[in-house]
Structures are given as structure tokens and as C-alpha cells.
Amino acid sequence: MGLRFGTDGIRGIANAELSAELVLTLGRAVARVLPAESFVVGRDTRQSGPLLQAALSAGLASEGADVIDVGVLPTPGVAWVAARRDLPGAMVSASHNPFVDNGIKVFASGGLKLPDAVEQSIEEELSRLVGAWGPIPPPSRTAERPPVGPRVGRFLVDREAAGGYIEHLVGVTGERDLSGMRVVLDCAHGAACEIGPAVFGRLKADVTALSCEPDGTNINDGCGSTHPETLAEAVVECGADLGLAFDGDADRLVAVAHTGEVATGDELMALFAVDLAERDRLARSTVVVTVMSNLGLRLALEERGIAVSETPVGDRYVLEALNREEFSLGGEQSGHLVFRDLATTGDGILTAVLLADLVKRSGRTFADLLASSMHKVPQLLVNVATSDPAAVVDSPRVTAAVDEERSALGSRGRVLIRASGTEPLVRVMVEAEEDEAAREAVARLSAAVERESESLRNILDPTGEIA
């Protein structure tokens, strides 16, 4: 069993790496590690979604758990339903990945992301089942009889869950609405297609919705938070106040000003942190960020007396820090922002509503707010494809190259190199005072990664065995 939990669930090519048989077995493993009477299960708009949702649900039900099918719903919507009902849950989605990929995100009871130890337990149970029985697991979790008759889990359809989630999102602004604001939404042909426009419509905004015609294959295709250029053009053309782009499962947000300027999670965190601090709502005057957050964000928060708590990449690590230290705001550069008092996970639509509310309350344009929030330090990120990202990153030659670049930049920059938790990539990031310095350092590091990747490939003979 080669699949493992990454920074945000298990992902792979649907019906290949992530086969129906494997996902069924995963459902059994999840039910054994997280025993519960019921699980909340949703999906995004991928063509493979119904297939894998059915397989996952079959695995859960075969262990005696009822499955509450909430249909197409954003990942944070599934988490919200699970939290309201104090149940575990699962989302079938590969987030911002292309439609050929899919994935499974699992939530503990209360809609909480799983800690590492629980993920490891699920992996071990899944490996045991697959290793002992092939893709089809044994019929019983113990020597006892398997669930039969009334003990077999039921499939329950709940299409009212989306309505409750919409009410929750509409209610976060209190008595305020967004009347007079013109917004453009890019829903990435994904899980936000119905809920995003519905929420902003209920809040009385003038809404233009893009990429809201999912056909199962067009999710994230040249649209959404990973391709904000189309949204930027539309915002400028129609004279909107704000553009808001979600990814396929709507747990992240990228925003666009009326000028076409694109703002990532770092700029949004700077705005929210200052706004919350001014209203005495920023717990312990601290924001949780990941190692990928721009140095400019850290400097801007420091100037305003706001502390930074740093975590590894992944919103689950941000959430762990928020819950452990009882902070109220955290997030990632990619646009996963977590408002701990309002949600158990990153929520793109929630963030979009709060941002629009902030802009309206300020009486200023979003572009004006961005200009005064933070100044980005030039940052360059390059992804290098490799079959074994962790081995490349940990190799002595790559480590030495990183140390050399860090020494050369000193306090004038920052270097980060890491294995992607969701794709077969090594991510190389450099921050420097000058663009040229960042480009040169990234080029040298990328070359070192490519050389090491090639070297590791050459260790294997054509049959894939160690030579």
C-alpha cells in the first residue's frame, strides 16, 4: 500500500493509485480506528467523486457505521456538519489538484483534522488489511462475526445539510450585510458553485459568478484560486469592488482588488490580524503562520506588536497550534485561513465573507488596504518533480547546497526546501532583498535537487530493484 497521508489527506490518480478497492479498504480502516455510529461524507464535483464516495461509504458501512451522505459540499461544510453533530466525517476531494486526481480527507469527531498519531494508526490498519488480504479486506474486524442484519451500516441521504451551512456563513457578519458591494466569485467549477453565490446573494451583494458549470472534468481547469488571472480580468472589466477565488473544495481563498491586484493568504492574514487586534479580538495578540509565509508578513506584524507562531506547512498544523495555544487566527500563504472561533478548519467562503465585511466596514478600497498592510519581500518558489521527494531533500548533497545558500544570504533572506505532502515534488523557496538574488539562488538549488534526483534514479536498475 503505497499511499500515505500527506499534508491534507490521501491523494492519488482516481481509479488507479486511488482505486475503488483501496478506498473501500480505507473506509474499513477508518471505521476501525475511529469507531462511531455514523460518519458524515461529502465530495466535490470530480467525475470520480461518486465512485470513490460509494467505495468509502461501503467500507464504513461494512464495519457497522451509518453513512450520512451530504452530497456536493465544500470541505469546510462537511467539517461544519460533523462539528454540529459531534461526528467524524470524510471528504472525497483532491482540493486544487487536476480532476484526474482525487483524495480522501478524514475528520475526527467534531470536524477536527486528524493528529499524526491517528493518521499513522489508519495507515497501519490499511496496510495490514491490504497486505494480508490483497485489495479486499477480511470480513471481520476481530474473531467475532462481522456486522450482519440490522448491524450493517445504513446509507442516509441528507440534502438539508447545505442549508444549515449557508445559514452559518450568512450569520458571521451579525446584523451587517454587503449591500452596495459588487463582487465577482470564481468557484473553480467545484464545491462552491452553489453555496458561494447563495451566501453572497443572501448578504445582498451584487454577485457575478464565474466557473460555476462543473462537468466532472473541468474542476480547477484554468480557474479558481490557482489561476486568478481570469478573475482579475473580470474584476477590472466589470468594475467590481472585490474578486474572490476558491479552489475545488473551497477551503482556500485568493482575493483580487478592483485594480486587478492579486492578494494571497499572507496579505489577507495581515489585514485580518490588524483588524482583529484593533477590535480586541486577536487572542494573545498572535497569528499562526507556516514556514512558507513571506518575511514581509512577519515584519508587518512585528511592527504592529503582533507575535508570530510558526508551524510546518499544512493547515492541520496551523489548527493544532491554534487549539493548543488558544489563538484565534492562523493560515497559509496558499489561502487556507482559519478563524478558530468560527470554524474547525480552513474555509474559503467564510474567509471571503469576512474579507468583504472588513472592506465595507473600513470605507476604503481593498487595493488601498493592501497597500498599507504589508510589503512583500521578493519570494520565488519552484517545484522540481522527483519520484522520492523526501529522500532528495534529506540527502547530504542537497543539505549542503541549502546551507551554502543560507550562508550567502545571511539575515538578508531566507531559504526553504521541502518535500511536498500532496504531490511528487520538491518545493524550493528563496526570499531575498533583490529579485535577481532570489532567482540565482533558486536556480542553483533546483539544479542541485535535479542532480540528486537523477543520482537516486541511477541507483535503481531497469527492473526497479536496488542495484
Looking at the chain, which residues constitute the CATH 3.30.310.50 domain(s)?
A: 379-459
**With bands split at pLDDT 50, 70 and 90, how would you rate the model's confidence at 322?**
very high
Helices (H), 69-109: 75-85
Quick one: pLDDT at residue 133? 52
Q: Looking at the DSSP assignment, which residues form a beta bridge with residue 254?
A: 245
Sequence-distant (≥ 6) Cβ neighbours of residue 278 within 8 angstroms: none
Whole-structure pTM value: 0.86
Nearest by Cα to 209 from 221, 225, 195, 197: 197
Question: Domain 379-459's class?
Answer: alpha beta
The dihedrals phi and psi of 103, each to the nearest 5 degrees, come to -165, 170
Q: For the residues 323-344, what does the mean pLDDT come to?
A: 95
CA 129 to mean position of chain CA atoms: 28
Q: SS3 of 108, please?
A: strand
Sequence-distant (≥ 6) Cβ neighbours of residue 45 within 8 angstroms: 72, 189, 190, 191, 193, 214, 216, 219, 248
**pLDDT at position 292 over 60:** yes
**With bands split at pLDDT 50, 70 and 90, how would you rate the model's confidence at 162?**
very high
Question: Domain 10-159's class?
Answer: alpha beta
Q: Are 426 and 392 in contact (CB under 8 A)?
A: yes
CA 315 to mean position of chain CA atoms: 7
pLDDT digits (tens, 9 = 90+) for 271-289: 999 999 999 999 999 999 9
Residues belonging to the active site: 95
Q: For the residues 449-457, what does the mean pLDDT come to?
A: 90
Cell 461544510 locates to 77
Quick one: pLDDT at residue 80? 98
Looking at the chain, which residues constitute the CATH 3.40.120.10 domain(s)?
A: 10-159, 164-371
**pLDDT at position 465 over 50:** no
Q: For the residues 52-64, what does the mean pLDDT come to?
A: 97
> 164-371: what fold?
Alpha-D-Glucose-1,6-Bisphosphate; Chain A, domain 3 (3.40.120)
- What share of the chain in percent tops pLDDT 90? 81
What are the DSSP calls for 89-108, one per residue?
EEEE--TTS-TTEEEEEEEE
Positive or negative: CA dihedral 447, 451, 454, 460 = negative
Quick one: pLDDT at residue 413? 84
List Cα–Cα distances, 194 to 158, 186, 189, 231, 267, in angstroms.
16, 12, 10, 18, 27
pLDDT digits (tens, 9 = 90+) for 428-443: 999 988 888 899 999 9
pLDDT digits (tens, 9 = 90+) for 305-317: 999 999 998 888 9
Quick one: pLDDT at residue 211? 98
